[in-house]
Amino acid sequence: MKYETRKQSLTSSQAMVTSNHPLASSVGLSILAAGGNAFDAASGTAFALSVVEPMMVGPFGGGFTNFYIPNQGFFTIDGYASAPGKSSETMFNPVEFEDGPSGLFEVEDKLNQNGYLAVATPGNLQVWSHLVEKFGKFSLKDVISPAIQIARNGFQVSDYLSNNIRDNFTELSKHSESSSIYLPNGDIPQKGDIIKNPNFALVLEGIANNGSAYLYEGELGQHVEDEMLDNGGLLSLDDLRRQKFFYRNPVIGTYKDFQIHSVGPVSSGGICLIQMLNILENFDLQKYSITDPQRIHILSEVFKIVFADRYEYIGDPEYVKIPVEGLISKKYALERSKEINLHRAQSYEFTHNFKLNDSENTTHFNVADSEGNIVSMTQTINNAFGSKVALKGTGMLLNNCMELFDPNPGMANSIHPYKRCLSSMTPTIITKGTKPYLVLGTPGGRKIFGAVAQALLALTNNGLSLQASAEAPRIWTDGGVLELEYEFDENVKTSLASLGHQVSSVNRVAGGLNAIMFDNELMIGAACHRADGSPSGLSGGYAMPSKPGDAFRDY
């Protein structure tokens, strides 16, 4: 099947970086070209993204890292944000809806979305620093240096960034530091305009010179506490000192000839991805095109089953006992597959009548080096521009990860001091036999693992290229409306409606998926059209060594 793509993939032999901004990808690649490894490049890419994709990611956020080291294996790091020590399950007043749950954790005055009460204790900076200090070849100062220069000298605004600023104009304008950067003279920057963030450059220099302790123990952390106290926030320097990242056991499953290595709780992504693929193995999807209504019907029913189990079983492993092995077992998947009626849409029960919030405003990137190291990272400050608050004098946006908790008391995902909220992030590394085959991930909140699964299915079942698999139209549902990206035609929607689906056309499902595929000695990088994604690759190499007495000849 051929699919016309908007972007082109890239092939290289030595190294590859795929991220959701070309400038960030080029920063990661420059670090690799200078002799750094995948861990140096991943950290450098993350810091660069915090400048050029500021609405999605920053050091004051949270995320998950999945990485592979040859002859050592697969590892995952949970660097997600946690609730401040002074938080409580009654700190917000939930909004009541006459027609039942809205699907969002809305509270009065949107205090869990915007402003200082929305800020949770960040984990990103600890992990970005750790990757360099533990596994890298360069110093933290080396990998941060490009981001410092970009923040100081500026970068061009894309349509994607301009639209995000426009969509968040009102809230950004309420905070002087935020508006001074992203709304110069009160105007929305347009494509081609230059944004500079010199205050953030100074913060990055402080991190370069002092490490993550600059935030978690030192001057920057004290500045955070002072501003919180002045504005009714809860986050303290003690919260920052207590924050830790955790190595978690990877979640491992199989799909056909492939082995799936992904992240586990507090992310639900790996479990849900593997459960989806396990159930789908019981159907012959290869006979359907991507736009076939029968294929979409099967996928949507599997989505519903997986979400029913997600709501029931998965949470913070420090507070909830999670039956991981049961959820990802082939036997359980077979039992669940038998519940699907190929001719009628159904509902699938779950115990707790609540939904989990999850931001679609996230970023993802992958790095592979010539030594065989692979790093896959999904990172966020939650909503676009996080809490909309940039810390005064720093240019650093603060997250709004408190929105990810259920504001209702007594629930599995209710707020508790130091607790982590449930995520859907799915940075995933796939092997075939003993060799890496694919590394991929995407932004998109609760839609992440479904988008990752659909890209993998397009590649392995439908024979699409990597680029086409990343861009192919997607679907999503968690049991309510079935969302179809706008590329599906009316005949498809009519067929699905006849099966009992409530269908809605949307601009996009999830965000900028990007991936690296390994093909013998080559790497193929791709990034889809839903964000500013771009692959950057390194080929060629150094000159052949000369022998004593050899003379240069210009043939």
* Tens-place pLDDT, residues 257-297: 999 999 999 899 999 999 999 999 999 999 999 999 999 99
> Dihedrals φ, ψ of 148, to 5°?
-60, -45
Residue 134 is given by DSSP the state H
Could you identify the residue written with the tokens 């690296």?
A: 516
Give the contacts of 90 (CB within 8 A, at least 6 positions apart). 409
Chain length of the chain: 555
Q: Under DSSP, is residue 61 helix (H, G, I), strand (E, B) or coil?
A: coil
Mean pLDDT computed over 61-71:
97
Q: What pLDDT does residue 356 have?
A: 44
Mean pLDDT computed over 357-373:
87
> What is the C-alpha to C-alpha distance for residues 366 and 58, in angstroms, rounded to an integer?
17
362 labelled catalytic = yes
Contact between 150 and 52 under an 8 Å Cβ cutoff? The reply is yes
Handedness of CA 502, 506, 512, 514 (dihedral sign): positive
Could you identify the residue written with the tokens 């992904």?
A: 262
> Dihedrals φ, ψ of 7, to 5°?
-120, 175
Q: What is the pLDDT of residues 12-35, one digit of tens each?
A: 999 999 999 999 999 999 999 999
Quote the percentage of the chain above a pLDDT of 70. Answer: 94
The catalytically annotated residue of 5, 362, 394, 428 is 362
Find residue 378's DSSP bridge partners.
64, 364
> What is the C-alpha to C-alpha distance for residues 214 and 221, in angstroms, rounded to an integer?
7
Residue 414 is given by DSSP the state B
Taking 50 as the threshold, does the pLDDT of residue 327 lie above it?
Answer: yes
Q: In this structure, what is the dihedral angle of CA atoms 201, 206, 211, 214, given to the nearest 10 degrees?
A: -120
Find residue 503's DSSP bridge partners.
482
Q: Which residue has the higher pLDDT, 547 or 271?
A: 271
Q: What pLDDT does residue 492 have?
A: 97
Strands 374-380 and 362-368: antiparallel
CB neighbours of residue 382 within 10 Å: 30
Q: What is the pLDDT of residues 367-396, one digit of tens each?
A: 999 999 999 999 999 999 999 999 999 999
Q: What pLDDT does residue 15 have?
A: 98
Q: Which residue has the higher pLDDT, 77 or 99?
A: 77
> What is the C-alpha to C-alpha distance for residues 119 and 86, in angstroms, rounded to an integer?
12
320 in the Ramachandran plot: left (φ > 0), alpha (ψ -120 to 50) or beta? beta
> What is the C-alpha to C-alpha distance for residues 56 and 47, in angstroms, rounded to an integer?
12
Q: What pLDDT does residue 354 have?
A: 36
Mean pLDDT computed over 515-529:
97
110 in the Ramachandran plot: left (φ > 0), alpha (ψ -120 to 50) or beta? left
Contact between 458 and 464 under an 8 Å Cβ cutoff? The reply is yes
For residue 73, count CB atoms less than 10 angstroms from its CB and return exposed for 0-12, middle for 13-18, buried for 19 or more.
exposed
Task: Tell me, yes or no, if the pTM score tops 0.85.
Answer: yes
Contact between 477 and 304 under an 8 Å Cβ cutoff? The reply is yes
> What is the C-alpha to C-alpha distance for residues 531 and 384, in angstroms, rounded to an integer?
13
Q: What pLDDT does residue 394 have?
A: 98
Taking 80 as the threshold, does the pLDDT of residue 103 lie above it?
Answer: no
Could you identify the residue written with the tokens 């915090």?
A: 50
Q: What pLDDT does residue 410 have?
A: 85
Q: What pLDDT does residue 319 have?
A: 76
Mean pLDDT computed over 124-129:
98
- Average pLDDT of the chain is 93
The amino acid at residue 3 is Y
Q: What is the pLDDT of residues 438-496, one digit of tens each?
A: 999 999 999 999 999 999 999 999 999 999 999 999 999 999 999 999 999 999 999 99
> What is the C-alpha to C-alpha distance for residues 286 and 54, in angstroms, rounded to an integer?
40
Taking 80 as the threshold, does the pLDDT of residue 102 lie above it?
Answer: no
